[in-house]
Amino acid sequence: MSAGKFIVIEGIEGAGKSSAIAVIEQYLQQQNISFDKTREPGGTPLAEKLRTLVKEPCDEQITPECELFLMYASRSQLLHNKILPTLASGKWVIGDRHDLSSRAYQGGGREFNNDVIDSIANITLNGFKPHLTLYLDIEPELGLGRAQARGELDRIEQEKIEFFHKVRNKYLELANQDETIFIIDASQPMDKVHQDIRAVLGEQIGASDQ
């Protein structure tokens, strides 16, 4: 039995990650590929508790350092207790966010040095990375407008717009440096976004991968 593959969807709030994941699910089903899904932060019982600490508004200010370590603590739990065992069983995994999020949000938005994040990632991930990442790119004003229309914003979604511009810039910088990351224009009509996602999947998932 061959190991599964890890496909990740990335993007700022309001980029359309949930609907994009549904497109990937449908595609894998059509290819008769068994899969599971995860989200970050979260994905295991303990990691979900850490997600609550990260996402919910808090009377006590969460320091950038605390946020960074909580993200990687949650990611470590998810990777070792769910993602790796699932891939080893031959199933694929669809991830709603992974390490690229920390690179963008904590590295770009919080302005942590790349070396700092590398040192933490090396310990928690030990070189593991997704086989394919789809980054849904959208202007922060449009994305946050969509997110706000969905309801109450979480702690990170309440950051100033400048924060999300830094996050987006870091996403684009990193995506342009990695051939396994594909940029999808998420400001297009939804049908066109989904068409572009299916096109990337068709190019990247061949018969030899099934």
Residue 152's φ and ψ, nearest 5 degrees, are -65, 135
Predicted TM-score (pTM) of the model is 0.94
- How confident is the model at residue 210, as a pLDDT? 44
pLDDT value at position 152? 77
pLDDT of residue 206: 63
pLDDT for 147 equals 87
In DSSP terms, 38 is beta-bridged to: 95
Smallest CA-to-CA distance from 181 within 112, 61, 101 is with 101
Give the domains, in start order, of the chain with CATH numbers: 6-209 (3.40.50.300)
- Looking at residue 51, its pLDDT comes to 96
Q: Which residues of the chain have pLDDT under 70?
A: 1, 206-210
d(CA 186, CA 130): 21
Structure confidence at residue 58 (pLDDT): 85
pLDDT of res. 3: 86
| Helix/strand/coil (H/E/C) assignment for every residue in the chain | CCCCCEEEEEECCCCCHHHHHHHHHHHHHHCCCCEEEEECCCCCHHHHHHHHHHHCCCCCCCCHHHHHHHHHHHHHHHHHHHHHHHHHCCCEEEEECCHHHHHHHHHHHCCCCHHHHHHHHHHHHCCCCCCEEEEEECCHHHHHHHHHHHCCCCCHHHCCHHHHHHHHHHHHHHHCCCCCEEEEECCCCHHHHHHHHHHHHHHHCCHHHC
